[in-house]
Amino acid sequence: MKGGNMKIVRTEHHQVNSEFTYDIPEEDIAEVFGSVTRFEEILSHNGDSFGASRGDEPTDEELDTFDEFIESYDYERYDDWWTERKGGYDVSYKLEGSDDENDIDDDYDSDRELLN
């Protein structure tokens, strides 16, 4: 049996839902989009959490402006690591230095007895 240590990397594969909360002044919204109503219409076309989309479909330019506008504001972030709370995640192992998870280095003999 060789002396030394073997470094094992444990990887937990979680799913996380990240929630970003923006607090944007309505004056800024109206200045960029013409009205708060138009902004809400564009917002309603950007996901399914609003139910039915409202108003005219946004143009590509409006969608680009929307993304740039939102990204220019700070936000509060909340990460819900629900798989950690529920225990529903996969675990894999690899030897340090190996590129593939669950890969065993050629120098490692998986059939050898670890206790000699």
- Integer Cα distance of 3 and 85 in angstroms: 39
Phi, psi angle pair for 80, to nearest 5°: -105, 100
Residues 64 and 35 both lie in one domain:
yes
Residues 43 and 4 both lie in one domain:
no
- Report the pLDDT value the prediction gives residue 1, as an integer from 0 to 100: 60
Write out the two tokens for 64.
């680009």
Domain of 97? 1-16+81-111
Dihedral of CA atoms 16, 53, 40, 77 in degrees, nearest 10, equals 0
> Contact 99/32 with Cβ under 8 angstroms?
no
Number of folded domains that form the chain: 2
Q: Higher pLDDT residue, 100 or 17?
A: 17
Average pLDDT over residues 87-102: 74
Average pLDDT over residues 75-99: 82
Residues 64 and 37 both lie in one domain:
yes
Of all residues in the chain, what percent carry a pLDDT higher than 70?
A: 78
Express each pLDDT in 10-45 by its tens digit.
888 888 889 999 999 999 999 999 999 999 999 999
pTM of the model: 0.61
Sequence-distant (≥ 6) Cβ neighbours of residue 84 within 8 angstroms: 12, 14
Residues 29 and 66 both lie in one domain:
yes
- Report the pLDDT value the prediction gives residue 38, as an integer from 0 to 100: 96
Residues 36 and 12 both lie in one domain:
no
